[in-house]
Structure 1
């Protein structure tokens, strides 16, 4: 409801890059790219510090989101009655004096030119609104196919298959990981049969259906690196790590707390079973597990940064943290907010029925309505985002281990400590969210299922 009332506002548009269901794309802009020829004249009225655009960039107040991945992806042609369109926008955002992130320029294509204008907040109301709607639609496509499908569901399946293939059920790492693989292969099989298959939901409702989603996954594989799955590293690489600088990035704040809690738990368990780095090196089943992920999951691509072997306890702790965090917290962060953010269609259109505008001053409200999805596709979309946002009746949340795989007392103590740490995080998040119009709770451990199961 809040989204429905405020979706047109620039603050709401900017807020979603930090705390919506796709909070992983925004990065600090260190240099305005040549393909986005923004001038000071264009954005002067949006800047609040009496600095030039260049100075604002140097101060770290400018942010960018680039949907380059969508460039060249084929739009859905499965329905001859409805022509569908995709765009590959670039968005420039600004941290204003209230520390809010707001958009200051939007270009809807990757190649600058007279038929690819840069839309500004100072433009006609409908020009600016339609440009933002196009960005929201592009964001939806990247979110569903890359952030959600590839980087949580499919990656978790790689971990899951390698575990079942290489680790015997008596192995301590099997016991540690198996709760985080619960139902993952099953849910992905269901997705292949109902969502991403021919005539599945993607084909029915999304502009990336009919093969575009496959092109996107293939293109996104080059950015699927080990370091990009290490939560604190990825946040830092994007220049988004300073809490003083960007105070309202709750996805980052909560994510780092959960990452640390998981890492401490993984370290505790590893130190029980591995007395030294040498023991890690000599564990042939562990090494086979790591190699399986590298060879079959990452296709042996060195640039992925995934290790072929693990030789130290510290590295093993990080590796297990990547697996547990991705299958639990990362999936929760990008999955369970879908109904909140995507159920109001203009805020996340799954397809667009008119091409992106190529000139300013021509957009009408009728054109905006005609661009948005028809009722049929809207209904398919609504059903999907509602279903994907539901917890299961018998959901097991992070730290809940009802199946007693471990019998050793030290591990049970480590689990109790893990649960205590998670409870403290829940309390801190609950306290912060008090009286907030827009509470952020997707990374509260009591709302993070153990595994990718929906």
Structure 2
């Protein structure tokens, strides 16, 4: 009898599955009272085969663990589950009966039939049961299944979870909601505050197409039922995105600190005479600061740079900064949580402007024609330059509406600057290139020039020299005709000069071209082509692809933080009167210009090889390892980018072939079909009828599409974002606005241009207050946070249970490390003159890894800032 009892006890013990639960951010006071009231956190395992739910297991010792958490901020709980099934569970249910939410990281099960641990990678907030339809949350193991191969016991839960994420499209979203839904950009305007803050709705019409954003469900404004109400700017960090899309605590602390730096350093240093005015406005919300009229303080002695040394002073500590009085005033008038982070996680002091990389080695190299040309190939916006294929350049603008917009540049302007070649010979030999911002800008230029901005639409012709460097040889400056749009334009053409008034005018012509390029970069290449265009893919992926789906696992790391940073951008940057309108030249026309360029967006041309071919910078070449041959061999962005592109595509190819044995399996995947349908018809619904959309019928179409998504979210965004401060932190190199036209001979302004060219230049471009605001903003945008995850990395080693996928990912990481070494070698090759240029600034924006902070390198997995 004794032996039989022992055998029974051993049999029961064999059914005990051991579990280790790791979570963060649960609160000791709340938990203590919940324990006293007998509330619990409980889990139940779900059978893979039958779907049967196991017995409830409670998380014990909640209070004690909360009081003494681990040094990493994690709390670990040991659990035991009764488990009678012969196969391992595939999911579990968790119920939180505490009033406070907590962040669930992982559950690991052992003592299963399989000797290997079973991992559940959760990384999700769990709220009180009252916030869920079924009172519980579902989490799946790290196994991967196509829909048709999902174990029977998990099918219902797979669909239930997707239904939860889709929501019903109604109601205002609350912080605990997990709903991913679409909306148009109807949240940028503030009609209740006056006509100056009214902007159109972007998206949903033929005239104003735009990608969709995350729906928040806020009620309409009083003045316009089509415009969503906005939350106060002091509450910007609480704008709705699904809670799992929000920044981590580490990154949120950085955002708080960056915001404080932007206010205290970007708006206030050196402006004690205007501080009293601005301080009163802070009481009503910092949004009033963003609406502060920069021109109203133009007479202030601190509002002008008189020399390039004045500009350098802001990096060398020469600008007076009333830091202590400013912060004391802020402490009194702004909620404490807004200014609690005086030091960021990277340890850098709050008040210092780092020296931009472009002037570290040489303070004047930025002025050279060679550096101007190099930055079109290896700068912050190397994705606009095109090969010139017709001369003179023509316009695609409607001549019935805009008159003759074709270029006035003639062969006589450039004949002597092309090594003896004619224009036809130079074009035939792929020696002429163009930076053309004329057509994107001209429809808005009359309105823009009625604001504080005064600028031109520019065309810049460049000649490819024998050493593979580009030299600007003509810049056309165009303004709308005074007689009306139908009368066309007034244009002047300027050619290189180095001395006297003509030399200063040539420097100013390059500045106007850079003003155009700076605005186009921010609004189109950066915001539209990465941030805005990726968000619909994030929404569709969460709505239509289960976490069990291999494509969800492939893409999910490349969506981290994007919805949160986009929501913050809509709240503070791209909104009416926001920081972007205040720091780039199109002002209130900024999003309208971006919207107009979305009409030409083509998903397939976001692939780097296709983009290079489309711009005439490369031709197809089957003998090349990347399938294209560059027409400028020393084109650092393209050279490094093609290496990264090919590495991503190789990884995606290997991954997709693990799960799809043939094209028929693609066609039979209903989740994949619905995902792609929703991307086209809802997320990018204004362009749903375009013929270029892949049909998603073959493995190759899936591989190409996923490669494009990953490329845009990681490498393309890195290339156009993290160099903003290294190149543009020195405002003369990339001014964001201009505020007067070229002076006419015989005027006092022209006389000043002859006698004091530095002062004349600086009076033309961005004024001091606006400059410091812009510099502060791009410093924030150019930094890596402490919790950044880079291309080739995952934040959890057990992200999948599939060994083949893990091996393929390891090969991908090794490939990227090889590319890093190759980039380092090229940057030391003196024959490759565009790698460093006159500024002696190595091109590192597509170097995969980075440290924390302002590094000018590193490719995060996602659009995370």
**Residues 47-93 of structure 1, C-alpha deviation per residue, up to 9 Å, x if partnerless?**
21x22122111211000111020112258879x9x721242111110
Bigger strand share: 2
Partner of 1:168: 546
Bigger helix share: 1
Relative contact order, higher structure (CA 8 A, sep 6+): 1
1:355 is displaced (CA, Å) by 2.8
Match of 2:468 among 71, 80, 99: 99
Partner of 1:53: 423
Q: What 5-or-longer segments of structure 2 have no aligned partner? A: 1-356, 395-405, 482-487, 620-628, 830-835, 850-857
TM-score relative to the length of structure 2? 0.50
**Residues 372-418 of structure 1, C-alpha deviation per residue, up to 9 Å, x if partnerless?**
11111001101011111100101100010132331111111111111
Question: What CA distance in whole angstroms lies between the structure 1 residues aligned with 2:711 and 2:446?
Answer: 33
Question: What CA distance in whole angstroms lies between the structure 2 residues aligned with 1:8 and 1:44?
Answer: 23
Match of 1:372 among 758, 765, 772: 765
Which of 21-30 and 290-299 deviates more?
Answer: 290-299
Partner of 1:428: 822
Instruction: Classify the secondary structure of the residue corresponding to 2:443.
Output: coil
Question: What CA distance in whole angstroms lies between the structure 1 residues aligned with 2:690 and 2:769?
Answer: 40
- Describe how 1:373-412 pairs up with structure 2 within 5 A: 373-403=766-796, 404-412=798-806
Question: What CA distance in whole angstroms lies between the structure 2 residues aligned with 1:382 and 1:164?
Answer: 36
Match of 1:324 among 700, 710, 718: 710
1:427 is displaced (CA, Å) by 1.0
**Residues 81-107 of structure 1, C-alpha deviation per residue, up to 9 Å, x if partnerless?**
x72124211111001232210101111
Question: What CA distance in whole angstroms lies between the structure 1 residues aligned with 2:859 and 2:771?
Answer: 28
- Whether the 8 Å contact between 1:21 and 1:341 is mirrored in structure 2 is yes
Instruction: Classify the secondary structure of the residue corresponding to 2:800.
Output: coil
Question: What CA distance in whole angstroms lies between the structure 2 residues aligned with 1:356 and 1:215?
Answer: 26
Corresponding position: 1:279 with 2:653: no
Corresponding position: 1:38 with 2:409: yes
Question: What CA distance in whole angstroms lies between the structure 2 residues aligned with 1:370 and 1:103?
Answer: 24
TM-score relative to the length of structure 1? 0.93
1:444 is displaced (CA, Å) by 1.5
Corresponding position: 1:235 with 2:609: no
1:162 is displaced (CA, Å) by 1.1
Aligned-CA RMSD value: 2.4
Instruction: Classify the secondary structure of the residue corresponding to 2:491.
Output: coil
- Whether the 8 Å contact between 2:479 and 2:490 is mirrored in structure 1 is no
1:448 is displaced (CA, Å) by 0.4
Question: What CA distance in whole angstroms lies between the structure 1 residues aligned with 2:694 and 2:604?
Answer: 14
Q: Report which of the two structures shows the higher radius of gyration computed on alpha carbons.
A: 2
1:197 is displaced (CA, Å) by 1.3
Partner of 1:296: 682
**Residues 321-346 of structure 1, C-alpha deviation per residue, up to 9 Å, x if partnerless?**
00111000000000000011111112
- Whether the 8 Å contact between 2:460 and 2:475 is mirrored in structure 1 is yes
- Describe how 1:14-413 pairs up with structure 2 within 5 A: 14-32=373-391, 33-34=393-394, 35-48=406-419, 50-67=420-437, 68-73=439-444, 83-109=452-478, 115-122=490-497, 124-210=502-588, 212-241=589-618, 245-301=631-687, 304-307=690-693, 309-356=695-742, 362=750, 363-364=753-754, 365=757, 366-403=759-796, 404-413=798-807
Instruction: Classify the secondary structure of the residue corresponding to 1:116.
Output: strand
**Residues 151-181 of structure 1, C-alpha deviation per residue, up to 9 Å, x if partnerless?**
0001111111111111111111111111000
Q: What 5-or-longer segments of structure 1 have no aligned partner? A: none
Question: What CA distance in whole angstroms lies between the structure 2 residues aligned with 1:281 and 1:318?
Answer: 16
- Whether the 8 Å contact between 1:294 and 1:308 is mirrored in structure 2 is no
From the superposition, tell whether residues 358 and 273 of structure 1 become closer, same or farther in structure 2 (CA, over 3 Å): farther
Question: What CA distance in whole angstroms lies between the structure 2 residues aligned with 1:207 and 1:284?
Answer: 46
- Whether the 8 Å contact between 1:88 and 1:138 is mirrored in structure 2 is yes
Instruction: Classify the secondary structure of the residue corresponding to 2:462.
Output: strand
- Whether the 8 Å contact between 2:455 and 2:739 is mirrored in structure 1 is no
- Whether the 8 Å contact between 2:651 and 2:812 is mirrored in structure 1 is yes
Question: What CA distance in whole angstroms lies between the structure 1 residues aligned with 2:452 and 2:630?
Answer: 46
From the superposition, tell whether residues 336 and 272 of structure 1 become closer, same or farther in structure 2 (CA, over 3 Å): same
1:300 is displaced (CA, Å) by 4.8
From the superposition, tell whether residues 47 and 303 of structure 1 become closer, same or farther in structure 2 (CA, over 3 Å): farther
Instruction: Classify the secondary structure of the residue corresponding to 1:117.
Output: strand
